Structure 1
Amino acid sequence: GGWASKHVVELFTRYAEKVFARYHHVVKRWFTFNEPIVVQTRVYLDALRWPYEQNTHTWMQWNHHKVLATAKVVKLFREKGYSGSVGCILNPEVTYPRSRAAHDIKAAEIYDLFYNRVFLDPLVHGRYPQELFTLLEKHQVRWEYSDDELALIAENTVDELGINLYYPHRVKAPSRAWHPETPFHPAYYYEPFDLPGRRMNPSRGWEIAPRIIYDMAMRIKNDYRNIDWFVAESGMGVENEGQYRNRDGIIEDSYRINFISEHLYYTLLAREEGANCHGYMLWAFTDNVSPMNAFKNRYGLIEIDLADNRARRPKKSASWFRQLRDKRVLTLTIDDEWK
Structure 2
Amino acid sequence: MQTKTIKVPDKFMIGAAISAWQSEGWTGKKDTQDSYLDLWYKNNKNVWHNGYGPAVATDFRNRYKEDIGYMKEIGLTHFRTSINWSRFLTDYENAVVDEEYASYIDDMINELIANGVEPMICLEHYEVPAVLFEEYGGWGSKHVVELFVKYAEKVFERYGDRVKHWFTFNEPVVVQTRVYLDAIRWPFEQNTKKWMQWNYNKGLATAKIVQLFKEKGLKEKNGAKIGVIINPEVTYARSTAEHDQEAARIYDLFFNRVFLDPSIHGVYPQELFDLMDKHDIRFESTEEELQIIKENTVDYVGLNLYFPHRVKARSTAWNERTPFHPEYYYEKFDLPGKKMNPYRGWEIYPQIMYDMAVRMKEEYGNIEWFIAENGMGVENEKRFKNNENVIQDDYRIEFISEHLKWLLKAVEEGVNCTGYMLWAFSDNVSPMNAFKNRYGLVEIDLEDNRNRTLKKSAYWYKQLIETGQFEALDDDINK
TM-score (norm 2): 0.69
Q: 1:157 is matched with which residue: 272, 297, 300?
A: 297
For residues 1-339 of structure 1, the aligned pairs below 5 Å read 1-83=137-219, 84-335=224-475
**2:49 aligned residue:** none
Amino acid aligned to 2:471: T
- Tell me, in whole angstroms, the C-alpha distance in 1 between the residues paired with 2:413 and 2:394: 29
1:338, CA displacement in angstroms? 10
Secondary structure, counterpart of 2:249 in structure 1: helix
- Tell me, in whole angstroms, the C-alpha distance in 2 between the residues paired with 1:212 and 1:335: 16
1:293, CA displacement in angstroms? 2.0
Amino acid aligned to 2:232: P
1:307, CA displacement in angstroms? 2.0
- Tell me, in whole angstroms, the C-alpha distance in 1 between the residues paired with 2:299 and 2:257: 17
Deviations 1:72-104 (Å, cap 9, x if unpaired)?
A: 111111122222211000000000001111100
Q: Which runs of 4+ in 1 moved over 6 A?
A: none
Contact 1:97 1:104 in 2 (8 A): yes
Percentage identity across paired residues of the two chains: 67
1:161, CA displacement in angstroms? 0.2
1:150, CA displacement in angstroms? 0.7
Contact 1:209 1:338 in 2 (8 A): no
- Tell me, in whole angstroms, the C-alpha distance in 1 between the residues paired with 2:390 and 2:426: 14
104-113 vs 280-289, which moves further: 280-289
Contact 2:273 2:282 in 1 (8 A): no
- Tell me, in whole angstroms, the C-alpha distance in 2 between the residues paired with 1:28 and 1:217: 24
Deviations 1:193-216 (Å, cap 9, x if unpaired)?
A: 111000000000000001101111
Query: Measured at CA, do residues 273 and 336 of structure 1 come closer, stay the same or move farther in structure 2, by a change above 3 Å?
Result: closer
1:185, CA displacement in angstroms? 0.4
- Tell me, in whole angstroms, the C-alpha distance in 2 between the residues paired with 1:291 and 1:43: 12
Deviations 1:139-173 (Å, cap 9, x if unpaired)?
A: 11142101111111001101000000100000000
Deviations 1:287-334 (Å, cap 9, x if unpaired)?
A: 111231221111111111222222211111111111111111221214
100-109 vs 321-330, which moves further: 321-330
Query: Measured at CA, do residues 202 and 336 of structure 1 come closer, stay the same or move farther in structure 2, by a change above 3 Å?
Result: farther
Amino acid aligned to 2:412: E
- Tell me, in whole angstroms, the C-alpha distance in 1 between the residues paired with 2:291 and 2:350: 38
- Tell me, in whole angstroms, the C-alpha distance in 2 between the residues paired with 1:298 and 1:51: 27
- Tell me, in whole angstroms, the C-alpha distance in 2 between the residues paired with 1:133 and 1:64: 12
Contact 1:210 1:338 in 2 (8 A): no
Query: Measured at CA, do residues 337 and 228 of structure 1 come closer, stay the same or move farther in structure 2, by a change above 3 Å?
Result: closer
TM-score (norm 1): 0.97
Deviations 1:29-70 (Å, cap 9, x if unpaired)?
A: 210000000000000000012221111100010011001011
Contact 2:304 2:373 in 1 (8 A): yes
Amino acid aligned to 1:48: I
- Tell me, in whole angstroms, the C-alpha distance in 1 between the residues paired with 2:443 and 2:468: 24
Secondary structure, counterpart of 2:372 in structure 1: strand
- Tell me, in whole angstroms, the C-alpha distance in 2 between the residues paired with 1:202 and 1:187: 25
Amino acid aligned to 1:115: F
- Tell me, in whole angstroms, the C-alpha distance in 1 between the residues paired with 2:389 and 2:465: 24
Residues matched between the structures, number: 339
Secondary structure, counterpart of 2:447 in structure 1: helix
Amino acid aligned to 1:7: H
Secondary structure, counterpart of 1:144 in structure 2: coil
Deviations 1:207-232 (Å, cap 9, x if unpaired)?
A: 00011011111100110011111101
Query: Measured at CA, do residues 337 and 179 of structure 1 come closer, stay the same or move farther in structure 2, by a change above 3 Å?
Result: farther
- What CA RMSD, in Å, does the superposition of the two structures yield over aligned residues? 1.3
Secondary structure, counterpart of 1:295 in structure 2: coil
- Tell me, in whole angstroms, the C-alpha distance in 2 between the residues paired with 1:68 and 1:124: 13
- Tell me, in whole angstroms, the C-alpha distance in 2 between the residues paired with 1:131 and 1:30: 31
- Tell me, in whole angstroms, the C-alpha distance in 2 between the residues paired with 1:127 and 1:136: 15
Contact 1:172 1:193 in 2 (8 A): yes
- Tell me, in whole angstroms, the C-alpha distance in 1 between the residues paired with 2:213 and 2:262: 18
Deviations 1:180-199 (Å, cap 9, x if unpaired)?
A: 21110000000001110000
- Higher RCO (C-alpha 8 Å, min separation 6): 2
1:336, CA displacement in angstroms? 5.7
Amino acid aligned to 1:314: L
Amino acid aligned to 2:324: F
- Tell me, in whole angstroms, the C-alpha distance in 2 between the residues paired with 1:338 and 1:47: 43
Q: Extract unaligned runs of 5+ from structure 2.
A: 1-136
Secondary structure, counterpart of 1:161 in structure 2: strand
1:5, CA displacement in angstroms? 0.6
Q: Extract unaligned runs of 5+ from structure 1.
A: none
